[in-house]
Amino acid sequence: MRNAFGAGLGLFLFVGLYYAITIPSSDIGSGASSDPITIGFVGPLTGDAAEYNMPIKNAVFLAVKDLQAQGKNVQVIYEDGGCSGDMAARAMNKLIAIDKVRAVIGGACNGETLAMAPVAEREHVVLFSPAASSPDVTGAGQFIFRNIPSDTATSEALARLAHAAHPSVAILSEAADSTRAARTSFGGAFAGDGGAVVFDETFAPDEKDFKLLIKNIRASGAESVMLNPQTEAVAGVFMKQFRKAGATSTVYGMAVLGGGAFLDAAGDAADGIVFADYLPLDAANPQTQAFLEDYRKFFGDPKREFAIASAYDAMNLVVQAASHVGYDGPKIRDYLYNLPQYDGLAGQYSFDLNGDVVGPLVGFKAVNKGAVERYTQ
């Protein structure tokens, strides 16, 4: 028992406390039951993070549409979490006290999820995040679930991959809260497998001259490097200087090393980098094909495919649970804990006693001639 999851405006945006998506029964082909299942959603609907949240909210819209087409009387009340802990906590309290929801999808940001978790615990309401990857979400409460791997799980998988090819590693991290978990988890897993962490240092977020760090990395004898940045462009500057100095070590990293700003800044120096990411969606799955086709029809080409698949799954999982055991927080919680396996768009998975996802959802990619491709070696 425990102590008690890196997003949008969607199809419609209304200013105010909330709005609910409903689709007329004439549009879905079958009638809905008289007792609706009302699910809360909290994510940044406004502000800089709204663009990040948009694909997630779009996926929830599609899940509601499909569930209603199956005869489920489902609606969603959307609240603006603003990627802010205070805003998200207020939204969570409002959804529970006024709207009487027993399950909430969110947040899209780690801070939103962590701020809502104590409220969910106190009120025995399930909080299900498709996007919060912070290790702090583990242990946040008995009612907290996520179907996105934690940064800890992702960095540990990367460490195992790196150690299989190299006996030693140098870890270079940008000094930021968001990089601490990957730094600690990667180093611990690499050493735990019998590898040697021969260098472990940080650099300032505004660093532009890496010559001394590069000299020290090379002097350490490290046969590989784990580059752990928060800022894509700064990491790109490092890579250019690293390769210019004649360093040929394989460089590993997290998904930020697949970002456009990093690739632009690094140029040819990015080639050969291997980074951890989420597994691609199963393109051969007819359900996946139908979902992506539907997404394009409503919203255009999908971005952040794993996130939208996770959001679609999250809504379906909560409604599946409520349909089987009733719309009650503790019953939904127990249903999710005891779920042997869920076959979703994001993959096949279940949940451990921390509410963390268990399943082969982490994959690897590499940069080859400036393009990102799946890493299969």
pLDDT digits (tens, 9 = 90+) for 145-166: 999 999 999 999 999 999 999 9
Q: Is residue 108 scored above 80 in pLDDT?
A: yes
Packing angle, helices 305-325 and 329-337, rounded to 10: 120
Report d(CA 63, CA 71) in Å as an integer.
13
Average pLDDT over residues 110-121: 96
Mean pLDDT (whole number) for 260-274: 94
What is the predicted pLDDT for the residue at 196? 98
Distance, CA of 314 to CA of 146 (rounded, Å): 8
The predicted model scores a pTM of 0.80
CA dist 166 and 193 (Å) reads: 11
Burial label, 43 (beta-carbon count in 10 A; 0-12, 13-18, 19+): buried
Q: What are the sequence ranges of the domains in the chain?
A: 20-146+286-358, 152-279+365-374
Distance between CA 110 and CA 106 in Å, rounded?
9
Place of tokens 């009340």: 77
**CATH class for the domain made up of 20-146+286-358:** alpha beta
Residue 148: which of 167, 168, 129, 135 has the closest Cα? Answer: 129
Would the CATH topology of 20-146+286-358 be identical to that of 152-279+365-374? yes
Decide which of 2.40.40.20, 3.40.190.10, 3.40.50.2300, 3.30.750.200 is the CATH code for 152-279+365-374. Answer: 3.40.50.2300
Instruction: Reduce the DSSP state of residue 326 to 3 states and report it.
Output: coil
Residue whose C-alpha is closest to residue 226's, from 152, 133, 161, 151: 161
The residue with tokens 């599946």 is: 320
